[in-house]
Amino acid sequence: MPEPPHAHRLAHRLDGIPPTIFSQMSALAVRTQSVNLGQGFPDVDGPPEVIARAVAALEAGQNQYAPGLGIPALRQAVARHQLRHYGIELDPDSQVVVTTGCTEGIAAALLGLVDPGDEVIVLEPYYDSYTAMIQMAGGVRRPVTLRAPSYRLDPDELRAAVTPRTRFVLLNSPHNPTGTVLTRAELQAVADVAQEHDLVVITDEVYEHLVYDEHEHVPLATLPGMFERTLSLSSAGKSYSFTGWKVGWATGPAELVGAVLAAKQWLTFTSGSPLQPAVAYALDEEPDFPAQLAAGLRERRDLLCAGLSAAGLDVRVPEGTYFATTDISALGWPDGRSFCLALPERAGVVAIPTQVFYDSDEGRQLVRWAFCKEAEVIEEGLRRLSAADLTA
């Protein structure tokens, strides 16, 4: 076969970056009519009043470019949110920028801050956009593993990952996919390392409100001396069940927010105008929605975890997020990928092999299940799992 023209090949900056696992597994779910417990999107939308605000903005003619930083009403609402929940005071004109989902916040932060060869410490397993964007920015990732079965951050491993080339930590808590919510002590270990080695920390806090039981989300920026070196990212997607809206924000010191804006202006220039007033309304006028959502999610977490356990899977009950992780070692499969590829035929259920979020072999036997679905959907998935033979 003749080689395709050079122009048809992917650029080297994408070498080794596979298509996201979520597209592959969601397509498999549709093809096999499986219950999709893979991709993390809720099947019930957020508050109707918030949707009505977006419709009103569309009809009122808010359909042209928003300011690059985001509309003032949303930046002010984000600043009020950070003050109300965490006591963080922000200047909405210089310390907040609206992004097209947290995904653009991650991309713009890394493109705006990382120089080729800079090392970025990431928690392993990692959200897959981190690895893609660190590589596209020319950076080098240095994973620090949250190890099964407790998935805690080991401060010694964190320290050992620092080299003279380390400039950033890219942190995620509450953590996808393990469901770990970093404790104050773990965050203090990150703060100590960052201050000792003059590192900037980028924190992905999209699951900030989805924490359960006695666990508490503590933004790293609230630890002594950390605001100045922390760029915090979040979005409305998870907190308000509007994952398709892609409205997010980056907050922190003006220099770090400025770096996000410097890159963002060339990525999207500005984010969707009519959704911004609706998200501002959600933050200001529906402040209790995320806690109610979390209360409902906690019940569905328990439903899913009990069912997975009854189906013979060794499950870790998550402290936060949409996801529970199981260890499938006992079932005899070579790895989670082969289990997940066989599962739609075997049981009519789709889950995500966590190993794709690792550089190391630590995640080979781990599988992630989403519980941000209606109880009936989870129950149907569990019925199918318990009726199937899950052994290799």
Among 62, 82, 176, 273, binds ligand PLP (CB under 6 A): 176
Do residues 119 and 137 lie in contact, with contact meaning Cβ atoms separated by under 8 Å? no
**Closer residue to ligand PLP (CB): 175 or 311:** 175
DSSP 109-176: HHHHHPPTT-EEEEEES--HHHHHHHHHTT-EEEEEE-BTTTTB--HHHHHHH--TTEEEEEEESSPT
Binding status of residue 235 toward ligand PLP by CB under 6 A: yes
How many whole angstroms separate alpha carbon 148 and alpha carbon 32? 31
Residue from 82, 203, 243, 354 binding ligand PLP (CB under 6 A): 243
Nearer residue to ligand PLP within complex by CB, 129 or 183: 129
Q: What are phi and psi of 231, to 5 degrees?
A: -110, 120
Give the CA distances from residue 201 to residues 121, 220, 243, 279, 289, in Å, rounded to whole numbers and listed in that order.
9, 9, 25, 26, 29
**C-beta of residue 74 within 8 angstroms of C-beta of residue 270:** no
# binding residues, ligand PLP (CB under 6 A): 14
Of the residues 119, 186, 204, 327, which one makes contact with ligand PLP according to CB under 6 A: 204
Regarding 124 and contact with ligand PLP (CB under 6 A), the answer is: no
Note whether 172 binds ligand PLP by CB under 6 A.
yes
Instruction: Please give the helix or strand (H or E) that residue 294 lies within, else none.
Output: helix 289-310
Using the rule CB under 6 A, is 276 a contact of ligand PLP? Answer: no
* Residues between 24 and 53 that touch ligand PLP (CB under 6 A): 40
Say if residues 41 and 243 touch (Cβ distance below 8 Å): yes
Tokens linked to 84: 């109300």
Number of CB atoms found within 10 A of residue 136's CB: 16
Question: How far apart are CB 323 and ligand PLP at their closest, in Å?
Answer: 9
Stretch that binds ligand PLP, among 7-15, 44-52, 98-106, 327-335 (CB under 6 A): 98-106
Measure the CA–CA gap between 321 and 41, rounded to whole angstroms.
Answer: 11
62 binds ligand PLP (CB under 6 A): no
Q: Which listed residue (206, 259, 275, 350) binds ligand PLP by CB under 6 A?
A: 206
Find out whether 129 and 106 touch, Cβ atoms under 8 Å.
Answer: yes
Judged by CB under 6 A, the stretch of 97-105, 160-168, 331-339, 365-373 that binds ligand PLP is 97-105
Q: Which residue is nearest to ligand PLP (CB)?
A: 101
Figure out which of the listed residues 46, 92, 219, 248 binds ligand PLP, where binding follows CB under 6 A.
Answer: 248
CA distance linking residue 235 with residue 277, whole number of Å: 14
Per-residue contact string for residues 102-121; x = within reach of ligand PLP by CB under 6 A: xx------------------
- Shortest spacing between CB 346 and ligand PLP, in angstroms: 26
Residue 101 CB, shortest distance to ligand PLP, in Å, is 3
User: If you search the block for the tokens 């129950």, which residue do you land on?
Assistant: 379
CB of 238 to ligand PLP, least distance (A): 7
Q: Shortest gap between Cβ of 179 and ligand PLP (angstroms)?
A: 11
237 binds ligand PLP (CB under 6 A): yes
Amino acid of residue 13: R
Q: Which residues bind ligand PLP (CB under 6 A)?
A: 40, 101-103, 127, 172, 176, 204, 206, 235, 237, 243, 246, 248
